[in-house]
Structure 1
Amino acid sequence: MTNHDEAATVRPLTLAWVSRHLEVGERIVKTEALHGGITAEMRRLTIGTPDGGTRDLVLRTFVNVEHAEDWLDREVGALTLLTGTGVPAPALVAVDPTASYCEYPSLLMTHLAGRTVLDDEGLETRVPLLARQLVAIHAVRPAERPRKYVALTTADTVVTPKGADAAVWAAAINVIRRPAPPYEGRFLHRDFQPGNVLFDVPPSGQADARIMGVVDWAATSWGPADLDVAHCATVLALLHGPAWGLRFSRAYEEAGGVLAAAASERLYWQVRDGLACSEEVQQVAQPWREAGRTELTTRTVEERLNAYVTALMDTLG
């Protein structure tokens, strides 16, 4: 077995566990670290087959992550639910949520073709595709609902960026002091954003791009569609500029999605997610830089977040 780099090395107990879940005559011939994740280590495993071919699997490992068992249980539930729905998600191969066999809690799943695309080029094509995919996710009707969404951000934990308009941010914080608006529940991904969507962009260009898969289902929940839409909008605003965050909500509706009827209710969810990012700007920006967006310094992302929150509050008139 060869390693693409040191980070790709699979720990001995985990390696043995993976091997037990391969088909007869198969073996791991190559491992490669997949970058961009925040909560878990991701590795692509190339499996040699008896006929001389290969296939790929993905190994997801939670190293010293609190509530790893819960994350993995939710992901397993989601992957099982999504089988046969038309939503392009990985298929479950094996899971060790309590690290009974592996060094750390781990999940083994099929590898999906495609790649994450974080560049500005081709965004006009990709945003409608993202919107249509999210509408399809929200259309899933599970026989057993996942647990209710959790929104950890509070008015007291928001971190106002340096140089931001204090009055604007105080007003935004006051928005989330109010009780959450009533909503019609939907099946939520809870981290749907470009970093968790795999695209095929053919040589013919971005105009022919298509979505091949959606990954990272560990936070699936039950809650308002507005919350998933708000999260993707925030990430688009930070990656590509505030105007794209504002555009995504419209794209979702144009794709047939239904959001809260009242503008004030939509604003609640939009602001809540935007403010949530204030607490983890550095954590969010680093994987983007590692993926090639080196211009997205922590300060740049803070400035975009400030501009986006300001633009949201401007909708109040």
Structure 2
Amino acid sequence: MTCKRGPRLPLVDTRLWVERSLPPGDRIRSTTVLRGGWTSRMSRLEIDGRAGPYSVVLRSFVKEFYVQHALGLLTREADVLRLLAGTGIPAARLLAVDAAAEHCEHPSLLMSLLPGQIRLDEDDVDRKIPLLVRQLLAIHRLSVPSRPRAYQAWTGPDRVRVPENTTRPELWRRAVELIRREPPAFEACFLHRDFHPGNVLFTGAGADLTISGVVDWVETSWGPADLDVAQCSTAIALLHGVPAGMRVAEEYRAAGGVLRAEEDHRYWRLLDALAFAPDAEKVAVPWREVGREDLTPAVLAERLEDYLDSILACSTSSA
């Protein structure tokens, strides 16, 4: 996420709660609003600590829809951050959570600051994709003492929002019909469930490019690896073009990951991609905030249709 400096400190109740959650004597010095989030307001808090200055991150749900669901979402994220502690996955350390807004103005979660930043530009795409799939594979291979909730589908054949001005209605009809079935059998594993470049932090460049953090664990689930891979594939297709998105599954298999056979994997790919319809504008807003002004609704709508077309063409050619 990128930063926008601002003098405004957290509201009084939130500030008191944050400082009570820090080591005794540590105080908030300043606040930086982080750009690039969609579901919540993210703030970087600079702390004057007795042992020296440091930074933490405050996640607050302020949109009405997410406020209504905050108890489940933030409680889940807090539980997941506890599960991930010591696993080697580069996730933040949980400091405190107030999921019901009992102490804060808004439902909030306080966590450590991870190094690095989101990299959504077109640089080093060929390096980023292998790094992303290897990180995703490490998440899927986690063995945890308690399972998160079962995955939830974010769309269905009767919920897809087909673009009103599409010139390819038959493409959409075919794609929707192919998810009008029972989900394929799968071997469940630990899922991030919203894994894409907008939720991954990088440091370095070129040969030194490294993933330094994975954020946004509110949707963590137990389900098919194919669904996480599909989510990453769709996002990369929208960000960097269809050929890049289509590479993700290949790279995941090359890294040692196991996915379903083509017909079943196609189901998960389509199920994920169709959830972005009609034009992927939901993800475009935070992406444009961090510099991708080229991702207009028209560009994303075209890329989404081209991606659906490539999925269907791939499955036809392998039949």
Give your verdict on TM over 0.5.
yes
Find the counterpart in structure 1 of residue 177 from structure 2. 174
Amino acid at match of 2:286: P
Find the counterpart in structure 1 of residue 42 from structure 2. 42
Aligned-residue offset at 1:62: 0.8
Aligned-residue offset at 1:25: 2.3
User: How many pairs align?
Assistant: 309
Specify every segment of 5 or more residues in structure 1 that has no aligned partner in the other structure, as ranges: none
Amino acid at match of 1:227: L
TM-score by length of 1: 0.95
Aligned partner (choices 194, 200, 203) of residue 203 of structure 2 = 200
Aligned-residue offset at 1:191: 0.4
Contact 1:164 1:306 in 2 (8 A): no
Instruction: After superposition, give the CA deviation of every residue in 1:64-95 in whole Å (9 maximum; x if it has no partner).
Output: 32311100111011101111111010000000
Contact 2:279 2:301 in 1 (8 A): no
Once the two structures are superposed, the pairs formed by residues 211-226 of structure 1 within 5 Å of their partners are 211-226=211-226
Amino acid at match of 1:110: S
Runs of 4+ with >4 A deviation: none
Contact 2:202 2:209 in 1 (8 A): yes
Once the two structures are superposed, the pairs formed by residues 284-295 of structure 1 within 5 Å of their partners are 284-295=283-294
Contact 1:122 1:207 in 2 (8 A): no
Amino acid at match of 2:294: E
Aligned partner (choices 131, 135, 151) of residue 153 of structure 2 = 151
Aligned-residue offset at 1:280: 6.5
Aligned-residue offset at 1:158: 1.3
Instruction: After superposition, give the CA deviation of every residue in 1:19-58 in whole Å (9 maximum; x if it has no partner).
Output: 111212211111101111111110000111224x311100
Aligned-residue offset at 1:255: 1.2
Amino acid at match of 1:167: E
Find the counterpart in structure 1 of residue 73 from structure 2. 71
Q: What SS does structure 2 have at the residue aligned with 1:30?
A: strand
Once the two structures are superposed, the pairs formed by residues 91-106 of structure 1 within 5 Å of their partners are 91-106=93-108
Partners of 2:168 and 2:104 lie apart in 1 by 49
User: Is 1:230 aligned to 2:222, yes or no?
Assistant: no
Instruction: After superposition, give the CA deviation of every residue in 1:133-189 in whole Å (9 maximum; x if it has no partner).
Output: 000000112221111000030112212233341111101000111110000000000
Aligned-residue offset at 1:207: 2.6
TM-aligned CA distance change 1:280 to 1:9, over 3 Å: farther
Partners of 1:79 and 1:49 lie apart in 2 by 23
Partners of 2:15 and 2:5 lie apart in 1 by 16
Find the counterpart in structure 2 of residue 56 from structure 1. 55
Q: What SS does structure 2 have at the residue aligned with 1:4?
A: strand
Contact 2:95 2:110 in 1 (8 A): yes
Find the counterpart in structure 1 of residue 309 from structure 2. 310
Partners of 1:132 and 1:247 lie apart in 2 by 13
Instruction: After superposition, give the CA deviation of every residue in 1:185-239 in whole Å (9 maximum; x if it has no partner).
Output: 00000000001000002xxx32320000100000000000000000000000000
User: Is 1:265 aligned to 2:261, yes or no?
Assistant: no
Amino acid at match of 2:313: D
State the Cα RMSD in Å: 1.3
Partners of 2:154 and 2:23 lie apart in 1 by 42
TM-score by length of 2: 0.94
